[in-house]
Amino acid sequence: MGLISCEQQDDIKKVTTLETAKTAFKRSEPAEFTFKSDAPPSQIKWSVSPEKNVTLTTDGYTARVLFKNPGRYQVTATDNRTTSRTFVNVDTLSYSPGDTVTIPTQPEPPVVNPIDTAKVVVIDTVGTHDRIVSLTGDEFTVSPTLVDSTMGNGVEFSFKSTNQYNCLNSRLKYTTQPGYLTDGNLEVQFLHVIQPGSRYCKEGQSHLSHSLLLMIRNNETKRIKIELNGISYQGSITRSENTYSINWPYTSGIKFLTLNIQR
C-alpha cells in the first residue's frame, strides 16, 4: 500500500469553476468572470477557447469577454496551481445597449448579509482555506476616471478601502447585477473580505482595491447604488457631451474623490 503525504497532495493542481452571473449570452453581450486565487494578480493567466472573434480584457482576478459569434466557449483562468473554467453558450441573437430580452441563464447568487457578530469568522483550523473578514467599520473612497474601450466611452470607478487588512493577497468579495457594463446602472454590494489561510497568506497589511467599468452614452443618466454594511448609498452620473457629472450627497461611508470629470 502506498502513502501520499499532505505536501504531495498540495502540489496537485485543482480545478474549480469561475464565478459569473450567468452562462448564456447574446452575441457581443458583455460577460464578466472572476477567478478566486491566492496568487498575485500578475500571475493570473486568462484564455478563451475557441479564441476567434473574441475580445478578452483582463484585470488580475477579473476578465471581461465579448463573444462576437454564436457557439459554445470555454473561459479559463489559472495561477499554475489552481485552474478555473466555465463553459458559456452564445446565442445567435445580437446584443444592443438597452436590450431587455435575456437568454435563459443560471439564477443569481444569494445575497450574503454583512457579518456583525465577529470581526473574523474562521472557516478551517489548519491554515489552508480562506477566512471571511467583516467590513464592519470600514469606508471606501471612489475615484472615477474616463476610459475608452471597444464598447465605447465609459467611466471606471476605482474603489479603495480606508482600513487595511492582514495578508497582502486578501481580496474584496462583492456582487453586481448582470448586464451593468453597458445598458445597466451601476449597482454593487460589498460583502466581505476573503483572507487566505495562514499557510498562503502573504505577510503584511494592505488596503482593498477594485475597479468597475460603467458605459454611458451622451445625454444619459445612470443610477449608482453601493451597499456597504447594510447601508444603501444611492446617487447618479450624467453625461453631457464631454462632461460627466456625479450626484452624490454622502461624505462618509462611500466617498467620491471628485464629482465632475471632463474628457
Asked if 213 contacts 154 with a C-beta cutoff of 8 angstroms, the reply is: yes
d(CA 170, CA 156): 22
| Together in a domain, 73 and 128 | no
Q: Domain residues for 223?
A: 120-262
Supply the pTM of this predicted model. Answer: 0.53
The pLDDT, as a whole number, for residue 181 is: 54
Domain membership flag for residue 112: no
The pLDDT, as a whole number, for residue 37 is: 83
Domains: count for the chain: 2
Reduce the DSSP state of residue 176 to 3 states and report it.
strand
The pLDDT, as a whole number, for residue 212 is: 86
> Who's near 37: CB < 8 A, 6+ residues apart?
43, 44, 61, 77, 79, 82
The pLDDT, as a whole number, for residue 108 is: 39
Domain boundary pick from 76, 94, 112? 94
Average pLDDT, 10 consecutive residues per value, the chain (263 residues): 39 67 84 87 89 87 88 88 86 70 44 45 57 91 84 83 92 76 76 86 90 86 91 92 92 93 87
The pLDDT, as a whole number, for residue 112 is: 42
Give the containing element (helix H, strand E) for 56.
strand 54-59
Domain membership flag for residue 104: no
How many CB atoms lie under 10 A from the CB of residue 256? 19
